[in-house]
Amino acid sequence: MGTFEAITKGLAAGMILTIMIGPVFFALLQNSLEKGYKAAFHMTIGISISDAFYITICYFGIAQFAKDQRFQLWLGIIGGCIMLALGLLSLLKSTTKRPPRNGNNKSSGFIRQMLKGMVINGLNPSVLIFWLGIVSVATVNYQFKQQGLLFFFGTIILTVFITDNLKAYLSDKLSPVITTRFIRIMNSVVGIAFLIFSIKLFHFAYNIGFENLF
Protein backbone atom coordinates (compact mmCIF):
# COMPACT_ATOMS: atom_id res chain seq x y z
CA MET A 1 0.00 0.00 0.00
CA GLY A 2 1.11 3.54 -0.77
CA THR A 3 1.54 6.62 1.38
CA PHE A 4 -1.98 7.91 0.71
CA GLU A 5 -3.56 4.62 1.80
CA ALA A 6 -1.39 4.58 4.94
CA ILE A 7 -2.48 8.12 5.86
CA THR A 8 -6.20 7.52 5.23
CA LYS A 9 -6.21 4.26 7.20
CA GLY A 10 -4.21 5.94 9.98
CA LEU A 11 -6.76 8.77 10.07
CA ALA A 12 -9.62 6.28 10.40
CA ALA A 13 -7.86 4.38 13.21
CA GLY A 14 -7.02 7.67 14.96
CA MET A 15 -10.66 8.78 14.88
CA ILE A 16 -11.73 5.47 16.41
CA LEU A 17 -9.20 5.90 19.22
CA THR A 18 -10.16 9.52 19.90
CA ILE A 19 -13.90 8.76 20.30
CA MET A 20 -13.21 5.99 22.81
CA ILE A 21 -14.47 7.33 26.14
CA GLY A 22 -11.85 6.44 28.72
CA PRO A 23 -10.18 7.93 31.80
CA VAL A 24 -7.96 10.16 29.64
CA PHE A 25 -11.03 11.86 28.15
CA PHE A 26 -12.41 12.85 31.55
CA ALA A 27 -9.01 13.85 32.95
CA LEU A 28 -8.33 16.02 29.91
CA LEU A 29 -11.61 17.92 30.21
CA GLN A 30 -11.14 18.34 33.94
CA ASN A 31 -7.62 19.68 33.47
CA SER A 32 -8.73 22.19 30.85
CA LEU A 33 -11.64 23.46 32.94
CA GLU A 34 -9.63 23.81 36.15
CA LYS A 35 -6.13 24.77 34.99
CA GLY A 36 -6.65 26.07 31.46
CA TYR A 37 -5.71 24.96 27.97
CA LYS A 38 -1.95 25.13 28.58
CA ALA A 39 -2.08 22.43 31.27
CA ALA A 40 -4.29 20.24 29.07
CA PHE A 41 -1.92 20.75 26.13
CA HIS A 42 0.99 19.52 28.24
CA MET A 43 -1.10 16.50 29.17
CA THR A 44 -1.77 15.64 25.50
CA ILE A 45 1.99 15.53 24.91
CA GLY A 46 2.28 12.85 27.59
CA ILE A 47 -0.60 10.92 26.02
CA SER A 48 1.13 10.98 22.63
CA ILE A 49 4.43 9.84 24.18
CA SER A 50 2.78 6.84 25.86
CA ASP A 51 1.03 5.93 22.58
CA ALA A 52 4.34 6.11 20.72
CA PHE A 53 5.93 3.92 23.40
CA TYR A 54 3.23 1.27 23.02
CA ILE A 55 3.58 1.31 19.24
CA THR A 56 7.33 0.82 19.58
CA ILE A 57 7.21 -2.13 22.00
CA CYS A 58 4.45 -3.81 20.01
CA TYR A 59 6.18 -3.39 16.67
CA PHE A 60 9.61 -4.55 17.80
CA GLY A 61 8.32 -7.81 19.24
CA ILE A 62 8.09 -7.02 22.93
CA ALA A 63 4.37 -7.57 22.44
CA GLN A 64 4.99 -11.12 23.68
CA PHE A 65 6.06 -9.61 26.99
CA ALA A 66 2.92 -7.48 27.04
CA LYS A 67 0.85 -10.65 26.56
CA ASP A 68 2.42 -12.24 29.63
CA GLN A 69 -0.25 -12.81 32.30
CA ARG A 70 1.98 -11.60 35.12
CA PHE A 71 2.62 -8.33 33.26
CA GLN A 72 -1.11 -7.89 32.58
CA LEU A 73 -1.94 -8.67 36.21
CA TRP A 74 0.48 -6.07 37.57
CA LEU A 75 -0.75 -3.57 34.97
CA GLY A 76 -4.32 -4.12 36.14
CA ILE A 77 -3.46 -3.80 39.84
CA ILE A 78 -1.24 -0.72 39.51
CA GLY A 79 -3.60 0.92 37.03
CA GLY A 80 -6.58 0.16 39.28
CA CYS A 81 -4.86 1.71 42.31
CA ILE A 82 -3.98 4.86 40.37
CA MET A 83 -7.53 5.18 38.97
CA LEU A 84 -8.92 4.64 42.47
CA ALA A 85 -6.70 7.38 43.90
CA LEU A 86 -7.61 9.79 41.08
CA GLY A 87 -11.30 9.03 41.58
CA LEU A 88 -11.16 9.74 45.31
CA LEU A 89 -9.22 12.97 44.71
CA SER A 90 -11.79 14.14 42.15
CA LEU A 91 -14.66 13.38 44.53
CA LEU A 92 -12.82 15.32 47.23
CA LYS A 93 -12.50 18.27 44.84
CA SER A 94 -16.26 18.23 44.31
CA THR A 95 -16.73 19.23 47.96
CA THR A 96 -14.38 22.22 47.77
CA LYS A 97 -14.60 25.60 46.12
CA ARG A 98 -13.43 26.07 42.59
CA PRO A 99 -9.70 26.87 42.66
CA PRO A 100 -8.49 30.01 40.90
CA ARG A 101 -7.08 29.35 37.44
CA ASN A 102 -3.42 30.24 37.43
CA GLY A 103 -1.14 29.24 34.60
CA ASN A 104 1.89 29.68 36.89
CA ASN A 105 0.56 27.19 39.45
CA LYS A 106 3.01 24.34 40.08
CA SER A 107 0.22 21.80 39.49
CA SER A 108 -0.02 23.14 35.94
CA GLY A 109 3.71 22.58 35.28
CA PHE A 110 4.80 20.97 32.03
CA ILE A 111 6.53 17.91 33.53
CA ARG A 112 3.75 17.15 36.00
CA GLN A 113 0.97 17.38 33.45
CA MET A 114 2.93 15.45 30.82
CA LEU A 115 3.60 12.64 33.30
CA LYS A 116 -0.07 12.65 34.28
CA GLY A 117 -1.06 12.07 30.65
CA MET A 118 1.55 9.32 30.26
CA VAL A 119 0.48 7.50 33.43
CA ILE A 120 -3.29 7.64 32.90
CA ASN A 121 -3.01 6.60 29.26
CA GLY A 122 -0.13 4.16 29.72
CA LEU A 123 -1.64 2.18 32.61
CA ASN A 124 -4.92 1.55 30.79
CA PRO A 125 -4.86 -2.07 29.49
CA SER A 126 -7.45 -1.21 26.83
CA VAL A 127 -4.90 1.16 25.24
CA LEU A 128 -2.31 -1.63 25.12
CA ILE A 129 -4.86 -4.03 23.64
CA PHE A 130 -5.83 -1.40 21.05
CA TRP A 131 -2.22 -0.93 19.92
CA LEU A 132 -1.57 -4.67 19.84
CA GLY A 133 -4.53 -4.99 17.47
CA ILE A 134 -3.54 -2.01 15.34
CA VAL A 135 0.09 -3.13 15.00
CA SER A 136 -1.09 -6.62 14.02
CA VAL A 137 -3.49 -5.23 11.40
CA ALA A 138 -0.85 -2.87 9.99
CA THR A 139 1.82 -5.54 9.65
CA VAL A 140 -0.29 -8.57 8.70
CA ASN A 141 -3.46 -7.34 6.98
CA TYR A 142 -2.26 -4.07 5.44
CA GLN A 143 1.30 -5.37 4.98
CA PHE A 144 2.78 -1.87 5.19
CA LYS A 145 6.47 -1.44 4.54
CA GLN A 146 8.61 0.69 6.87
CA GLN A 147 7.66 3.99 5.21
CA GLY A 148 3.97 3.06 5.18
CA LEU A 149 4.09 2.11 8.86
CA LEU A 150 5.71 5.43 9.68
CA PHE A 151 2.94 7.38 7.94
CA PHE A 152 0.23 5.09 9.35
CA PHE A 153 1.24 5.34 13.00
CA GLY A 154 2.29 8.97 12.65
CA THR A 155 -1.16 9.85 11.31
CA ILE A 156 -2.88 8.03 14.19
CA ILE A 157 -0.85 9.84 16.86
CA LEU A 158 -1.25 13.21 15.11
CA THR A 159 -5.02 12.70 14.76
CA VAL A 160 -5.41 11.86 18.45
CA PHE A 161 -3.14 14.75 19.46
CA ILE A 162 -5.10 17.30 17.38
CA THR A 163 -8.54 16.09 18.47
CA ASP A 164 -7.53 15.92 22.15
CA ASN A 165 -6.25 19.48 21.92
CA LEU A 166 -9.51 20.54 20.25
CA LYS A 167 -11.47 19.05 23.17
CA ALA A 168 -9.23 20.86 25.65
CA TYR A 169 -9.43 24.16 23.73
CA LEU A 170 -13.23 24.11 23.56
CA SER A 171 -13.45 23.26 27.26
CA ASP A 172 -11.12 26.14 28.09
CA LYS A 173 -13.18 28.60 26.01
CA LEU A 174 -16.37 27.50 27.75
CA SER A 175 -14.78 27.87 31.18
CA PRO A 176 -15.69 31.58 31.74
CA VAL A 177 -19.41 30.78 31.50
CA ILE A 178 -19.20 27.61 33.58
CA THR A 179 -20.37 27.97 37.16
CA THR A 180 -18.76 26.63 40.33
CA ARG A 181 -21.68 24.24 40.67
CA PHE A 182 -20.94 22.81 37.22
CA ILE A 183 -17.29 22.30 38.17
CA ARG A 184 -18.34 20.43 41.30
CA ILE A 185 -20.69 18.24 39.29
CA MET A 186 -17.94 17.67 36.71
CA ASN A 187 -15.50 16.65 39.44
CA SER A 188 -18.09 14.24 40.83
CA VAL A 189 -18.68 12.74 37.38
CA VAL A 190 -14.93 12.44 36.76
CA GLY A 191 -14.44 10.87 40.20
CA ILE A 192 -17.18 8.31 39.66
CA ALA A 193 -15.83 7.56 36.16
CA PHE A 194 -12.34 6.93 37.56
CA LEU A 195 -13.78 4.67 40.28
CA ILE A 196 -15.65 2.67 37.61
CA PHE A 197 -12.45 2.34 35.57
CA SER A 198 -10.56 1.23 38.70
CA ILE A 199 -13.19 -1.47 39.34
CA LYS A 200 -12.84 -2.62 35.72
CA LEU A 201 -9.06 -2.81 36.10
CA PHE A 202 -9.29 -4.76 39.37
CA HIS A 203 -11.82 -7.09 37.70
CA PHE A 204 -9.42 -7.44 34.77
CA ALA A 205 -6.68 -8.48 37.23
CA TYR A 206 -9.06 -10.80 39.12
CA ASN A 207 -9.96 -12.63 35.90
CA ILE A 208 -6.28 -13.30 35.22
CA GLY A 209 -5.88 -14.79 38.68
CA PHE A 210 -3.83 -13.50 41.58
CA GLU A 211 -1.92 -16.78 41.69
CA ASN A 212 0.01 -15.37 38.72
CA LEU A 213 1.16 -12.39 40.78
CA PHE A 214 4.64 -13.80 41.48
Q: Where are the alpha helices (DSSP H) in the chain?
A: 3-18, 23-35, 37-59, 63-66, 69-93, 110-122, 125-136, 146-174, 180-208
Question: pLDDT value at position 134?
Answer: 77
Question: pLDDT value at position 136?
Answer: 67
- Amino acid 136 reads S
* H/E element, 103: none
Question: pLDDT value at position 108?
Answer: 59
What are the per-10-residue average pLDDT scores of the chain (214 residues)?
Answer: 83 80 80 87 93 83 62 75 80 63 57 90 78 72 76 92 90 74 76 82 79 62
Torsional sign, CA 15, 19, 20, 26: positive
Q: Global pTM? A: 0.69
Nearest residue to 30 (alpha-carbon basis) of 155, 168, 123, 157: 168
